Amino acid sequence: MNKFTNLIIRDIRLAVRQGSAFTMTLSFFVVAVTLYPLGVGPELNILARIGPGVLWVGALLSCLLTLDRIFQADFEDGSLDQLMLGSLPIELMTLAKIIAHWLTSVVPLILITPILAVSLNMPADGIWVMMLALLVGSPVLSLIGAVGAGLTVGMRRGGVLLSLLVLPLYIPVLIFGVAAVEAAIAVLPMGPHILLLAGLSLGALVICPIAAAAALRLAVE
């Protein structure tokens, strides 16, 4: 367990000291969301209608941008081989890296969401549920993304392939995430959607580290 937490701390420390990691993802998220009002026009009722979807799609794409960071740098400098030879099972090692990715790349997006939601004219009830839905559903993004990242690690032009592999699998999260927020705005029960998101997260938590570990074994073979 100690090794597990140490690995998470190491990855977070690397991301923090690199500095640009946080700001880059956040800036991308903010810029991407800003493009929508410019594209569809500034009418507040239209923005309120598309707000949940815009924020979720923005979060999906921002997460996608950082996926290659999970394994790529460690693969290039050889630390990945070192980690895989270590006593920590590869599945747990992948899980630790996934948790670190979620904490450094996805949680900042959740924290900045309220400000963007206000700019999209989202009612206050919606904003809280938006954050809750992101908190419950976004682990799926890191988990499924890690499988894609593992499969494309060490590949030239892996990024484009990664998005083709991963984005279709993100669709259920997008659908239930948006449904939860829209239900909350319409004062309908949003519990089932949140529970479904939690179910997706737990399912992915079981399957994805195993699949990502299999992909990594293949990559360093």
Partner 1 sequence: MAVDLHKFANPARFLRITSAIFPWAAIVTVLLLAVGLYLALFASPEDYQQGATVRIMFVHVPAAWMAMSIYVMMAISSATGLIWKHPVADLSAKAAAPIGACFTFLALVTGSLWGQPMWGTFWVWDARLTSMLILFFLYLGYMAIWGSFDDQSKAGKAAAILVLIGAINVPIIKFSVDWWNTLHQPASVATMDGPKIHSSILTPLLVMGLAYTSLFLTIFIIRVKAEILGRRLRILRLAHVED
Binding site for partner 1 (CB under 8 A): 144, 147, 151-152, 155, 157-158, 161, 164-165, 167-169, 171-172, 175-176, 179, 200, 207-208, 211, 214-215, 218, 221
> Residue 21 or residue 214: which is nearer to partner 1 going by CB?
214
Contacts of 29 (CB under 8 A, 6+ apart): 58, 59, 62, 109, 112, 116
> Residue 122 or residue 178: which is nearer to partner 1 going by CB?
178
Least distance (Å) from partner 1 to the CB of residue 56?
13
Least distance (Å) from partner 1 to the CB of residue 42?
25
> Residue 126 or residue 158: which is nearer to partner 1 going by CB?
158
Least distance (Å) from partner 1 to the CB of residue 196?
8
Mapped onto helix, strand or coil, the DSSP state of residue 86 is coil
Least distance (Å) from partner 1 to the CB of residue 129?
17
* DSSP symbol at 103: I
CA atoms of 95 and 77, how far apart (whole Å): 20
Mapped onto helix, strand or coil, the DSSP state of residue 43 is coil
Least distance (Å) from partner 1 to the CB of residue 2?
30
Any long-range contacts for 86-95 (C-beta under 8 Å, 24+ apart)?
A: 86/3, 87/3, 88/3, 88/4, 88/7, 89/213, 90/213, 90/216, 90/217, 91/209, 91/210, 91/213, 92/4, 92/209, 93/7, 93/213, 94/146, 94/150, 94/209, 94/212, 94/213, 94/216, 95/4, 95/209
Least distance (Å) from partner 1 to the CB of residue 133?
14
> Residue 39 or residue 168: which is nearer to partner 1 going by CB?
168
> Residue 97 or residue 116: which is nearer to partner 1 going by CB?
97
**SS3 labels along 131-174:** HHHHHHHHHHHHHHHHHHHHHHCCCCCHHHHHHHHHHHHHHHHH
Least distance (Å) from partner 1 to the CB of residue 144?
8
> Residue 115 or residue 207: which is nearer to partner 1 going by CB?
207
> Residue 53 or residue 108: which is nearer to partner 1 going by CB?
53
